[in-house]
Amino acid sequence: MPIRLVPAAALIAATLAPAAISAEEVRTSSVQVYELTQVSVNASAIAPAEFEEKTQAIRSCRDARQLAKEIGARVQRDNFVRATALPSELQPILAETPTGRASPVMVEDGAALHVFVVCGRS
């Protein structure tokens, strides 16, 4: 079942515009740092259940990019995203998402569907 984003716009904006950190900060920080790929599509382009089925088959970020291409979705890649820079609603979801896998589907105001793929963590 898709997760409703509340407030959706703030959650997505905060994730897409995280504070930049250097590779050195990643190596020396005790805070979880992610490499993420977000796949987003208009809800009118694909049924939520079909999007969920397809995204749960993702096993790598390459799979995510290929799926996005197949269904006409947008892809946003973000490296060096600190867990603490993410909205609090997203932090436990990504903490439980295995590397190479997609998060549960998130619905933004019924108009857009999103998943985050954890490409790496340190």
Model-level pTM greater than 0.85? no
Calculate what percentage of the chain has a pLDDT beyond 90: 72
CA atoms in the 13 A half-sphere facing the CB of 50: 9
pLDDT category at 67 given cuts 50, 70, 90 is: very high
**Mean pLDDT, rounded, for 25-30:** 59
Average pLDDT score over the chain = 85
Cα separation values, 6 from 25, 26, 76, Å? 30, 29, 20
Calculate what percentage of the chain has a pLDDT beyond 70: 76
